[in-house]
Amino acid sequence: GASVGGGVRRTVATSTACPKAMQREKPWAVEDYTLLREIGKGSASVVHHAICKKSHCPVALKIYKKAQLTDITRCQVERETRIHVGLQHRNILQCYGVFEDADAIYMVLEFAAGGDLMKVLTDNQRLTERQTIDVLRDLLAALEYLHGRAVIHRDIKPENILFTRQGILKLADFGSAIDVQKERPVSRLGTLDYMAPEVIRCPDKRSPDHGGGDARHGLQYCAKVDIWAVGILTFELLTGSPPFEQDTMEATVQSILSMQEQFPTFVSEPARRFVRHVLHKEPEVRPTVAQILLDRFLTDPPGSQPQDDRSLGELVLPQKISRIQSCSGLSGKASGDPSNMYRIPSSPYPHRMAVMRPPPEGAAPRSPDEAPPRYSPPSAAMPVPLPSAWSAPQQPHPQPAPAAMGWRPPYGAPRPPQPWYAQPSAAAQSGGRAREQAAAVPPVSAAPGRGG
């Protein structure tokens, strides 16, 4: 497999899917790309929208600064490189190649100009069942391919689901992925709202040689953790919020481990059965991808959608405002067709920045059975969602003050009490879902072992 971390400028790995117009005999270098602007940032990486000078193709350039890499993150980058370069699927963001120099490691990725699923959810508050099914079919196709190659993604969420300018879904960000043929998945990794119970019970990885959990203690998990995340995603798309989200990470952990999801009344019975089946606490009972694809919710979609009859493609289609060079089949020839004039989206690559957005101009008043808006700022004229809209009985509540509805400090900071159905998402208030921290989860003791 490809190894990274040396000090010499070199091409670490290239994909067989890399277009000929982008290939070169000399080692790849950052000087081969024109960096346009920063479009995403993580704890150890930054992503730029860039143009390949040789082919004039738009790419996303993911940069890991070596000075910021720990021993663990360096191993994760090497794992991400080895896994992602070898993947080729219509619904997986393509990695064309990886190179490095003395300062950084660079991943050259397909540029998804249509933004991410979080932006779609932000703009529309929630999706219809038909739109949700469109997302699930393409996502499950990508997972079926990954699981068939013994790869677990471990970080399925709206921010990691992108769209091309043609509206094609692309699963992205393999920084948490693992090949179970080479390593045992025994460490706690991912995003808390989407973590399966068996992942939460595993300890954190403390060093590259520390394997985390131990299969003898029941702390090893499998690809069913991705199935759990599909269930969380389905619930979030249908209602606007994850099912187990709480004010603190400790409360969220306990909710995931012991509570059952509660559905609004507008969610159909087939959708409820689907989510309950996928979100079974015991991984042995959870279905596989092949079994999910045969579920009635996906095979017999609802016949009418009175709230929104737009297709998923219509939701993600970027506005045609400013020109971006686009490659026809990534052949290296820039197309002059006016259809290639698109706005560079604010979030074309997975990141965790959710913003507060006002409701669309001229929007009709919400009915009592409609989900409360997830990212709308408070307004005196905005009707308060009625408790009867939800299956779980709730108490009436006053309209929260504007100060309490703005950007929220990190988890645990004091704020006025509000019923959960009246609160904007924690992702919207805190700038994204916080990654699970060891202090937030009950300590787990296990014997060390080789794994990731």
Residues annotated as binding site for ATP? 62, 110-112, 159-160, 173
**CA-to-CA distance for 249 and 261, rounded, in angstroms?**
17
Q: What is the dihedral of CA 365, 370, 371, 374, to 10 degrees?
A: -20
Number of residues that make up the chain: 452
**CA-to-CA distance for 428 and 241, rounded, in angstroms?**
10
**CA-to-CA distance for 371 and 74, rounded, in angstroms?**
42
**CA-to-CA distance for 78 and 307, rounded, in angstroms?**
46
In the annotated binding site, the residues are 62, 110-112, 159-160, 173
Beta bridge partners of 317: none
Closest C-alpha among 242, 274, 264, 265 to residue 255:
242
**CA-to-CA distance for 252 and 71, rounded, in angstroms?**
29
Catalytic residue among 101, 155, 193, 214: 155
**CA-to-CA distance for 276 and 238, rounded, in angstroms?**
14
Read off the tokens for 194: 């989407």
Q: What are phi and psi of 95, to 5 degrees?
A: -100, 120
**CA-to-CA distance for 340 and 74, rounded, in angstroms?**
38
243 and 262 in contact (C-beta within 8 Å)? yes
Integer-rounded Cα Rg, in Å, for the chain is 22
Q: Is 130 exposed, middle or buried (0-12, 13-18, 19+ CB in 10 A)?
A: middle
Q: Is 181 exposed, middle or buried (0-12, 13-18, 19+ CB in 10 A)?
A: exposed
Q: How far is CA 419 from each of CA 78, 357, 439, rounded to the nearest angstrom?
A: 44, 21, 26
**CA-to-CA distance for 268 and 300, rounded, in angstroms?**
12
Q: Is 375 exposed, middle or buried (0-12, 13-18, 19+ CB in 10 A)?
A: buried
Read off the tokens for 148: 């068939």
Query: Which stretches does DSSP call E strand in 315-444?
Result: none
Active site residue 300: no
Please name the residues in contact with 210: beta carbons below 8 A apart, sequence gap of 6 or more.
448
| Helical H segments across 259-398, by residue range | 269-278, 289-292, 296-299, 312-316
Active site residues: 155
